[in-house]
Structure 1
Amino acid sequence: MKKLWLNWVVFTFLSVIVFLFWGINFNKKNYNQILEIDKKLPLKKSLEALPISENILFKIYVKIRKGGRDIKAGYYELSGDYSIKDIIDLLENGEYKMVKFTIPEGYSHEEIVSSLEKNKLIDRENLKKVLREKDFYYPTPDGNFEGYFYPETYFIPEGSSESDIVDIFLGEFLKKFPKERYTNKEEFYKMLILASIIEREAQVGDEKRLISSVFHNRLKIGMNLASDATVNYLYDYSKRKMYYKDLEIDSPYNTYKYKGLPPAPICNPDYLSIEAAFNPFDTEYLFFVAIGDGSHYFSRTYEEHMKFQKDKEKKR
């Protein structure tokens, strides 16, 4: 009886060991997420984003592995099947570590490049070389990729080359605006240029199609777009307020001096701005002016436009 009991204990012990070993090493689950290990937070808090964070085997294994002290902070891309051991190995070795990089709506190419450079993700000259040699579906006159670095938060694999980063940005753009949908490339480029102006002029998303209608109406009658944003682009958006002397600059981007669209986009617009360029509201508006709260006052005539501004000045 004693021998049977002992055999049962040994069998149970070995079964538990096998179960733990199998559960930690071979029981794989599918993951498709970005995991952030934030050094400012307790490790347990960061690991809560994992679906298996409450799994008892996972908790035991983390404790066995020095309580996770060797896990490196950063962003990790988990894509595929992983066991508990696979995940901890990955986090300790820093594999698939990502760098978080955000392109805000309306940033210019120069602003994006400066930010990439500041974050030590690219060498400016190498990036220029990559863009000069890059073949892209949509027009890039004289190698100008302004407008195609889609505003989004990206997770870039650590150690990515300039070519890799460009492919990530352009790949996201093509997801949003696939070739199959926009077969008229030249027409698309015109709308991209217009969208970039809408992006810089609009502070309220709901007004984008209204602002688009103003510019479409002006283009139809051969009226100058007269957009401060196109001129400020020439000053790298350093002007908080545009003065008459600033509008004297001679450039095809100066839409006060030259009719029609500027030669290329003036920033990288988001999806709503591009949709607004393609689908303006049907209005008779030809003018708009900032109210002061981010929104605009729209008018049909120059007289109405000027009257609003004079009334606005009187209220100050």
Structure 2
Amino acid sequence: MKKKVYKIIVILAILSVGIFGYIYSEITGKKHYETILTIENDQPLMKSLETLPGSKNLPFKLYLKYRNSGRDIKAGDYTINGEYNFKEIIDILESGKGKMVKITIPEGYSVKQTVELLEKTGKINKEKFYSELNKAAEDFPYYLPGGNFEGYLYPETYFLPETYDEKDVVSAMLKQFLKKFPVEKYGNREDFYEKLVMASILEKEAKIGSEKPVMASVFYNRIKKGMTLSSDATVNFVYDYKKRRMLYKDLKIDSPYNTYKYKGLPPGPICNPTLESVEAAYNPADTDYLFFVAKGDGGHYFSKTYKEHLRFQQENK
């Protein structure tokens, strides 16, 4: 009987050591993380931590309880990139040193609108920002006629260090663009630039994503037939998008971006498009459409003839 009890004690001791060793190795062992965390005051901590790999495992929960149940963790946005163990991650969250600033660049913003938005944060100087863009042009792999970065500042939510400067923002945005559009996939620089120009027009004209390939087919069809693109968005770009509604007198402005006056694509993008718009520019729908007009609900009515186009315009006045 004593031998059985002794064996049980030994087995339990071995299991305890094994479990302790596992927990210890999970807490102290480093793993690679590429994670964005948003710690919010108004929601349970474990809800905020659920995007952290391993946070649902028992070792992490036990260690978090040991660390005052996370009560010393500071709210904010954090980017956890690199090799860390659980202890180091909690240290970062408690110290607040890894806190980031979240900046969202809306889809379809032009470079000028983007810079104006960044200036409103109070940390970006317009002249310094453009200076950093000019420096970045030296190593940027895509076509930049006249150093024009229109189209290349990818619309995204960026997490930047609290002490970010103009160089940090430029670097983050261009890296994101190259991540979305790797050079090895889009090798023909001039062809890509033309697609980027088309994509920027689609970004401004189409409110519904599924319509972008159809709208692309309209513009390509018009180019093939020697027609003007007649895009209000390209003209509004000349007015810095200050026009809520384009009037006939506005369409008379003499600019290479006025696609009512000049055939073909404008000389450059009119905004910074999304991946969805670029893919639509590369993969237009197969249609015979030559016209489209807004329905009023965000969608468009597409037509093959001018007569049909006029009829729908009259019906939707």
Identity %: 57
Please identify, of 163-172 and 35-44, the stretch whose mean Cα deviation from structure 2 is larger: 35-44
1:86 paired residue among 72, 85, 88: 88
1:161 CA displacement: 3.0
Distance in 1 separating the partners of 2:263 and 2:225: 11
Query: Where does residue 79 of structure 2 map in the other structure?
Result: 77
Distance in 2 separating the partners of 1:287 and 1:251: 23
1:46 CA displacement: 2.1
Give ranges in structure 2 of 5+ residues lacking alignment.
1-12
How do 1:202-217 and structure 2 match up within 5 A?
A: 202-217=206-221
Query: Where does residue 130 of structure 2 map in the other structure?
Result: 128
Distance in 2 separating the partners of 1:246 and 1:259: 18
Distance in 1 separating the partners of 2:184 and 2:51: 37
Query: Where does residue 241 of structure 2 map in the other structure?
Result: 237
Q: 1:105 to 1:22 in 2, by over 3 A?
A: same
1:203 CA displacement: 1.1
1:211 CA displacement: 0.8
Q: 1:257 to 1:90 in 2, by over 3 A?
A: same
The TM-score with structure 2 as length reference comes to: 0.84
Query: Where does residue 33 of structure 1 map in the other structure?
Result: 35
Counterpart amino acid of residue 118 in structure 2 = L
The TM-score with structure 1 as length reference comes to: 0.84
Counterpart amino acid of residue 85 in structure 1 = K
How do 1:93-104 and structure 2 match up within 5 A?
A: 93-104=95-106
Query: Where does residue 111 of structure 1 map in the other structure?
Result: 113
Distance in 1 separating the partners of 2:105 and 2:208: 19
Distance in 1 separating the partners of 2:146 and 2:92: 43
Q: 1:58 to 1:194 in 2, by over 3 A?
A: closer
How do 1:52-63 and structure 2 match up within 5 A?
A: 52-54=54-56, 58-59=60-61, 61-63=63-65
Give ranges in structure 1 of 5+ residues lacking alignment.
1-10
Query: Where does residue 4 of structure 2 map in the other structure?
Result: none
Distance in 2 separating the partners of 1:21 and 1:76: 25
Query: Where does residue 258 of structure 1 map in the other structure?
Result: 262
Q: Secondary structure at 2:316's aligned position in 1?
A: helix
Distance in 2 separating the partners of 1:48 and 1:211: 40
1:133 CA displacement: 2.0
Is the CA contact (8 Å cut-off) linking 2:256 and 2:262 kept in structure 1?
yes
1:278 CA displacement: 2.0
Aligned residues: CA RMSD: 2.8
Q: Secondary structure at 1:297's aligned position in 2?
A: strand
Is the CA contact (8 Å cut-off) linking 1:25 and 1:86 kept in structure 2?
no
Is the CA contact (8 Å cut-off) linking 2:27 and 2:59 kept in structure 1?
no
Please identify, of 60-69 and 95-104, the stretch whose mean Cα deviation from structure 2 is larger: 60-69
1:222 paired residue among 216, 223, 226: 226
